[in-house]
């Protein structure tokens, strides 16, 4: 509803003359999938993760994805979110990962999960470090399908 009201205000068009809310939502979802690199179907997500997988050729600030498992060809295995095949995909950059290259006594490792950051309500695990002046520095984040110990362990092993 906010989008419709914003459009009505910005373009000085009466609300009743605008397309329905469903029409706006369909447009926004289509735009997000096609223009914003925002896939939502499992096959599209697998393709996206595969295209963005770590190759060692990335620059220090270029984001990459990594997964819990790889197949025999080294391709990422993206689960379907079930208990048998959990969805675990990490995202980071070389520049962020360098923060873990200092001796462990110089930082505190933080792990936290948050919810409802994405449409599917998958938990997002945030991994970061804090330095001596207590500044928090992101290292990586993971989108996971369940909040269970095995998934946390798997996310931290990579």
Any idea of the CA torsion for 124, 126, 127, 133, to the nearest 10 degrees? -170
pLDDT of residue 96: 94
Say yes or no: 33 and 71 in one domain. no
Burial string for 107-131 (b: 16+ CB within 10 Å, else e) reads beeeeeeeeeeeeeebbbbbbbbee
pLDDT digits (tens, 9 = 90+) for 87-109: 888 999 999 999 988 888 888 98
Backbone angles phi, psi at 140, to 5 degrees: -165, 165
Say yes or no: 28 and 77 in one domain. no
Please give the residue range of the domain that contains residue 87. Answer: 51-157
| Nearest by Cα to 109 from 88, 89, 139, 133 | 139
Say yes or no: 64 and 16 in one domain. no
> Per the structure, how many domains does the chain have?
2
pLDDT of residue 1: 63
Say yes or no: 29 and 68 in one domain. no
pLDDT of residue 118: 59
Residues 90 and 68: their CA atoms lie apart, in Å, by 8
Say yes or no: 34 and 8 in one domain. yes
Q: Is residue 82 part of a domain?
A: yes
pLDDT digits (tens, 9 = 90+) for 21-72: 888 888 877 777 677 665 666 677 788 888 888 988 999 999 999 887 888 8
Say yes or no: 142 and 72 in one domain. yes
């Amino acid at each position: 509803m906010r989008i419709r009201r914003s459009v009505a205000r910005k373009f000085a068009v009466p609300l009743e003359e605008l397309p329905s809310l469903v029409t706006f939502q369909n447009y926004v979802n289509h735009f997000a999938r096609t223009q914003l690199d925002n896939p939502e179907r499992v096959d599209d997500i697998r393709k996206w993760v595969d295209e963005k997988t770590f190759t060692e050729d990335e620059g220090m600030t270029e984001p990459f994805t990594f997964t819990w498992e790889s197949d025999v060809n080294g391709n990422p295995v993206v689960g379907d979110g079930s208990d048998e095949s959990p969805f675990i995909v990490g995202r980071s950059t070389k520049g962020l990962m360098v923060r873990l290259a200092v001796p462990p006594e110089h930082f505190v490792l933080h792990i936290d999960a948050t919810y409802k950051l994405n449409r599917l309500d998958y938990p997002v695990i945030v991994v970061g470090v804090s330095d001596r002046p207590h500044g928090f520095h992101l290292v990586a984040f993971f989108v996971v399908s369940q909040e269970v110990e095995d998934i946390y362990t798997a996310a931290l092993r990579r």
